[in-house]
Amino acid sequence: MRHGITRYVVSLLFLTLLWWLAAFIVRQVIPGPKSMVLSGPIKAFSTLFYHWGSIWPNFLRSAIRLVISLLISVFFGATTGLIIGFEKTADRLLSPIIYIAYPVPKIVFLPVILILFGLGDLSRVIFIVLVITFQVALSARDAAKNVSNRWVKAVESAGGNRLQVYRHVVIPAALPEILTSVRISIGLGIAALYLAEESFTNQGLAYYINNSWKIFAYSDVFAGILAFAILGLGLYLIVDLVERIFCKWNYID
Amino acid sequence: MINISRLKVDFISGTQSKKIIEGIDVHVDEGESVVVIGPNGCGKTTFLHTIAGLNDNYSGTIEIEEDRSRVALILQEIGLLPWKTVWKNATLGLDLQDVGDKSRAEELLERLDLMKYKTDYPSQLSGGERRKLGLVRALSVDPKILLMDEPLVSLDEFTRERLQNTILELWKEKGLTMMLVTHDIEEASFLGERIVVLTPSPASVKEVVGNETMGDVGFRRSEDFYGTAQKLRESLP
Ligand SMILES: Nc1ncnc2c1ncn2[C@@H]1O[C@H](COP(=O)(O)OP(=O)(O)O)[C@@H](O)[C@H]1O
Ligand SMILES: [Mg+2]
């Protein structure tokens, strides 16, 4: 961890400063109570701190929904992606399906999912999985396509079977790209989570933010946004850690 | 023992079919060392991969009097796995065959002076060290037959000769049946009891040069070594 902590602290201070500046300008330009819409950082952080008791259950609920969705997406996305990228027949059969399905805006399916699978967490997880899986599958597919033949031959000539080729070559070779797609998935997943938590639920960070809007508790809105940022940051750090453990070879110069 | 007769390989791309190997007959006795020499692009790699079972598109017969797990191939590009440490690369064959006892890999690493890099990754090794690791990986499964595709290509003269000596020692010591392909005349003259000269593409056997007096490191300075090298020079296009 080359001065890892310092980097985060400096970035945080920088963003906070920008935010403070924006709030300050808004207060000068827009007169009256309207300017309250953009809370300053100090207010937001202190609200996050003092209202943590009521934010925490929402944070936890969102985190669980997101993490479960991410795990399912990465498992299925990476598995199918690797097979499509590595097996020519699977590529011919399934790549067109991915190309057709990937660009369709998944939000149109949210009501359908809610009707079919009910108003509970199952529907929310299905929706998020639908949003992020294709992207993981595409990354894994492209990574598997670029697996060098010499590595495959090395394992095959040493008596390795197909499963062993996946285990010793395809999966480790594609892992860095898969982890990159997981990072992208965290951003996408949070956006999808927000949409999925806007209605028919009484818990979750998006619910908390929406509810705060309704009661004009602007600083709580921003405390909720901060909580989202913390959730995302935590997940990014976990992915970094996984990468540092399993892709050590990729960090050598 | 390896027995290859009337081996033919065609590569088909689209509607075009290209002859790569036109007909090769080679016999390698148990414990013998045969070098196959030919110009770049003549089909040496294709030939060796076909023998190693990496290419099913051939006609003719390939008889190998050994269990497949006792045949080792060293690829032209070595094919070390960048995500595995030196140790994990060395034991790859053993891991694939579910052999728990890794002592042979350990001995070979020790012997080829690679043990100190045990926890390093291939990208941290020099060209010569990577070649040595390829050799360790191939030999760690205790093969009877060792197939090598230009194992010492793109090394400096000094390292190449040292590794040729190592290969010679290991061949004698372990009684390996060895087949090595190369485009290097001195390598062929030093390591082959018999040297099969291939024609340019499509490959067929042009000539077989006997070289029975080879077998120790001093051979490089002998009349016979120069004689064989000269014969190969005249035979190659
Ligand atoms: N997979 C392949 N498909 C089509 N042609 C190939 C393939 N691999 C090799 N060739 C062709 O076969 C010929 C022999 O190649 P190769 O066996 O690699 O030669 P060498 O090892 O003697 O340099 C070359 O002309 C090469 O272009
Ligand atoms: Mg070659």
Q: Which strands sit side by side in the sheet containing B203-210, from one edge to the other?
A: B58-64, B2-13, B16-28, B203-210, B194-198, B33-37, B177-182, B145-149, B71-74
Count how many pairs of residues, chain A against chain B, have C-beta atoms within 8 Å.
62
Same domain membership, residue A56 and residue A17: no
Same domain, A195 and A215: yes
B130 pLDDT higher than 90: yes
Same domain for A22 and A52? no
Residues A4 and A94 in one domain: no
Determine the pLDDT at residue A3.
62
Is the pLDDT at A2 greater than 80? The verdict is no
pLDDT, average across residues B188-198: 96
First CA to last CA across chain A, in angstroms? 16
- Based on the structure, what is the number of domains in chain A? 2
- Per-residue pLDDT, averaged over B161-165, amounts to 95
Give tens-digit pLDDT for B56-81: 899 999 999 888 889 999 999 999 99
DSSP A251: G
**Closest partner CB to A168 (pick from B53, B81, B97):** B81
Whether residue B91 has pLDDT greater than 80: yes
Give tens-digit pLDDT for B144-157. 999 999 999 889 99
Strand (E) or helix (H) holding A191: helix A171-196
Chain A, 165 to 204: residues with Cβ < 8 Å from chain B are: 168-169, 172-173, 175
A1-5, A179-183, B133-137, B212-216, range with the lowest pLDDT: A1-5
**Quick one: what percent of chain B has pLDDT higher than 70?**
100
What mean pLDDT comes out for the span B43-51? 95
Q: Do A158 and B93 touch (CB under 8 A)?
A: yes
> Which residue range forms the structural domain that includes residue A179?
40-251
In degrees and rounded to multiples of 5, residue A225 shows phi and psi of -65, -40
What pLDDT was estimated at residue B203? 93
A99 and A187 housed in the same domain = yes
Clarify whether residues A18 and A59 are in a common domain.
Answer: no
Chain B residues with beta carbon closer than 8 angstroms to that of A249: 82-84, 121, 123
ipTM exceeds 0.85: yes
Q: For the residues A29-53, what does the mean pLDDT come to?
A: 88
B 86-105 near A (Cβ less than 8 A): 92-93, 95-97
Examine the domain organization and report whether A140 and A173 are in the same domain.
yes
* C-alpha distances out from residue B3 to B51, B63, B66, B175, Å: 10, 5, 11, 18
Task: Provide the pLDDT for residue A4.
Answer: 74
pLDDT digits (tens, 9 = 90+) for A86-131: 999 999 999 999 899 899 999 999 999 999 999 999 999 999 999 9
pLDDT of A251 reads 87
Q: Does pLDDT of A30 surpass 80?
A: yes
What integer pLDDT is reported at residue B103 of this predicted model? 95
Q: Is pLDDT of A28 > 90?
A: no
Query: Best residue in A249, A251, A252, A253 to probe B by mutation, most B CBs within 10 Å?
Result: A249
Specify the range with the lowest mean pLDDT, choosing from A21-35, A140-154, A191-205, B15-29: A21-35
Whether residues A168 and A231 fall in one domain: yes
Say whether both A83 and A206 belong to one domain: yes
Domain shared by A202 and A115, yes or no = yes
User: Could you give the residue range(s) of every CATH 3.40.50.300 domain in chain B?
Assistant: 2-66+144-235
Give the Cα separation of A184 and B133 in Å (integer).
38
The arithmetic mean of pLDDT across residues A39-68, rounded, is 94
Pick the CATH number of B2-66+144-235 from 3.40.50.300, 2.30.42.10, 1.10.8.50, 3.30.70.270: 3.40.50.300
pLDDT at residue A253 is higher than 80: no
- Check whether residue A68 and residue A90 sit in a common domain: yes
Asked whether residue A66 falls in the same domain as residue A187, the answer is: yes
Closest CB to A150: pick one of B69, B79, B123. Answer: B79
Amino acid identity, residue B145?
A: I
d(CA B167, CA B135): 9
A130: domain CATH number is: 1.10.3720.10
Residue of B46, B77, B153, B180 best suited for mutating to test ligand 1, as the one with most atoms within 8 Å of CB: B46
In the predicted structure, residue B196 carries a pLDDT above the cut 90: yes
State what percent of residues in chain A have pLDDT above 90. 79
Output the average pLDDT for chain B.
94
The confidence score (pLDDT) of residue B13 equals 84
CB nearest A153 (choices: B54, B68, B123): B54
